[in-house]
């Protein structure tokens, strides 16, 4: 470690009266490593939650029972300030979804899943291949009244300068082009259709959208290259108001309690699987980090909010509520970092999402983490996206970051295959250890490198990270 790095670490614990701050931090990190290795409850919790509650769509009975369990767990770890944040949102409820494709004069059923917020419908029409489903893919194609076939990722051979967008924006483009329906192709292999929200405003979309596997999509594209094909989409879905609750455990800081580090993960899943990776892995990681802090009697200068958000899958409703509540209670200005855990296993570094002012701090702490955990590569990344609960915090100018994780089997994302057998105890423990270490360092630093962005700084940050266009399309751009 260079002299500048050592002085940065020294500042961490200057106010704590540590004669050797580097040794102090290493000792804490070692105690975290031992505690998690010997006593982690992350994996048993993951299997228990998945087995006992199954799918946990926000606002359902199984989700409410999981909310109660996590509140009980926080209290059992010794947290006195544990509370719910209830909210109501427009919950989409899945009914039947049938997709039949015309194959040489007869209709063959394709395994499919409705994308969330697809309405009830029964349509038949010709299929038009719209490639990646981006605006340029519609050039020269008449899709009015037809069913478009789109890829949810980027097809092989797509030029490197083409930027993908999310499924909801692709559906909005299909609607704008006059399509009557949509067949969406999973971007990951595994012969599984995928689900996910397809709405930009929380209401039903205007056309039915059914997803199919990558393999079935490849098969269908080959057919379309040879002759015209037709499809019939039948769906039966509804929406209704539903109530869900964030669960918050607050650990008050002993020195500057008005400053807060938020560490959060969403507890909800889609309705088709128990969501072992997405996102029971993140939820149990946050729970086990909270347990570890109490088990070791760790104290922090700043307040830490351990938060389990709900309704992330349908549109970040829980994290948006948390931000509104923080503003209402005059706590928003004091949030210094939001540390989001969404599908977090096998952590090897951190994604700072374009907040470069934090890089030296994270790299220096990472060098100390490496002395305890040699498998930690201390990789720093800066790719910015808005697809999880950190997004509402970014919009308020708050610095956000996530673990960089190595996925052993990503094909299960948003499919029926997202089950506990794909995850091992070690995958979770690696995330818990490293995340607890960086959280402790942040919560005890004398000064933190990231500051709250002004509205103009947030605007420029979003532009610099190529997020303006997608936010304009979704109707969320508010900085002009």
pLDDT digits (tens, 9 = 90+) for 85-113: 999 999 999 998 999 998 777 788 999 99
pLDDT on residue 275 = 96
Helices 425-444 and 281-295, axial angle in degrees (round to 10): 60
pLDDT on residue 191 = 93
Q: Going from the N-terminus, what domains does the chain have, and what CATH number goes with each?
A: 3-91+241-474 (3.40.630.10), 95-236 (3.50.30.30)
Q: Rounded CA gap, 25 and 10, in Å?
A: 10
pLDDT over 80 (residue 20): no
pLDDT digits (tens, 9 = 90+) for 388-434: 999 999 999 999 999 999 876 667 889 999 999 989 999 999 999 99
Cα dist. 224→103, 126, 341, 362 in Å? Answer: 10, 10, 41, 50
pLDDT digits (tens, 9 = 90+) for 248-265: 999 999 999 999 999 999
Edge to edge, the sheet with strand 230-235 lists 106-110, 97-103, 230-235, 121-129, 147-151, 181-185, 209-212, 113-114
pLDDT on residue 400 = 98
DSSP, collapsed to helix, strand or coil, labels residue 113 as strand
Cis before 427 (ω within 30): no
pLDDT average, residue stretch 47-56: 97
pLDDT over 80 (residue 3): no
pLDDT on residue 409 = 62
Least confident of 18-27, 105-114, 132-141, 372-381: 18-27
Q: Rounded CA gap, 217 and 322, in Å?
A: 39
pLDDT on residue 18 = 53
């Amino acid at each position: 470690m260079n002299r500048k790095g050592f002085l940065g670490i020294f500042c961490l614990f200057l106010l704590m009266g540590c004669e050797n701050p580097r040794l102090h931090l290493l000792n804490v990190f070692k105690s975290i490593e031992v505690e998690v290795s010997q006593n982690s409850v992350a994996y048993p919790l993951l299997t228990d939650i998945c087995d006992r509650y199954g799918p946990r769509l926000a606002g359902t009975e199984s989700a409410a029972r999981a909310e109660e369990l996590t509140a009980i767990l926080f209290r059992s770890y010794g947290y006195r300030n544990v509370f719910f944040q209830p909210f109501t949102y427009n919950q989409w409820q899945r009914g039947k979804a049938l997709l039949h494709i015309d194959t040489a004069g007869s209709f063959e059923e394709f395994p499919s899943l409705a994308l969330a917020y697809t309405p009830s419908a029964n349509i038949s029409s010709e299929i038009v291949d719209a490639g990646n489903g981006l605006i340029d893919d519609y050039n020269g194609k008449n899709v009015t009244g037809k069913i478009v076939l789109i890829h949810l990722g980027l097809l092989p051979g797509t030029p490197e300068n083409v930027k993908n967008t999310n499924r909801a924006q692709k559906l909005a483009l299909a609607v704008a082009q006059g399509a009557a329906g949509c067949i969406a192709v999973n971007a990951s292999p595994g012969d599984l259709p995928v689900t996910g929200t397809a709405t930009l405003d929380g209401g039903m979309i205007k056309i039915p959208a059914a997803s199919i596997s990558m393999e079935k999509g490849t098969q269908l594209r080959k057919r379309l290259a040879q002759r015209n094909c037709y499809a019939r989409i039948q769906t039966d879905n509804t929406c209704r108001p539903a109530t869900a609750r964030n669960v918050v455990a607050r650990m008050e800081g002993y020195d500057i309690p008005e400053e807060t580090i938020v560490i959060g993960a969403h507890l909800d899943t889609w309705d088709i699987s128990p969501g072992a990776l997405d996102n029971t892995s993140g939820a149990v990681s946050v729970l086990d980090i909270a347990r570890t802090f109490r088990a070791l009697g760790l104290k922090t200068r700043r307040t830490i909010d351990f938060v389990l958000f709900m309704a992330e899958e349908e549109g970040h409703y829980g994290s948006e509520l948390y931000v509104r509540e923080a503003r209402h209670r005059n706590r928003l200005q004091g949030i210094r970092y939001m540390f989001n855990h969404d599908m977090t296993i096998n952590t090897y570094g951190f994604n700072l999402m374009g907040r470069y002012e934090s890089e030296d701090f994270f790299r220096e702490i990472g060098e100390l983490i490496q002395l305890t955990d040699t498998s930690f590569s201390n990789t720093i990344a800066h790719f910015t996206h808005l697809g999880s609960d950190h997004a509402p915090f970014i919009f308020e100018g708050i610095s956000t970051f996530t673990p960089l994780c190595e996925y052993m089997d990503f094909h299960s994302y948003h499919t029926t295959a997202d089950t506990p057998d794909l995850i091992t105890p070690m995958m979770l423990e690696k995330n818990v250890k490293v995340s607890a270490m960086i959280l402790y360092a942040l919560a005890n630093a004398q000064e933190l490198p990231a500051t709250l962005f002004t509205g103009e700084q947030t605007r420029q940050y979003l532009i610099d990270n190529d997020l303006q266009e997608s936010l304009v399309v979704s109707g969320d751009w508010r900085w002009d």
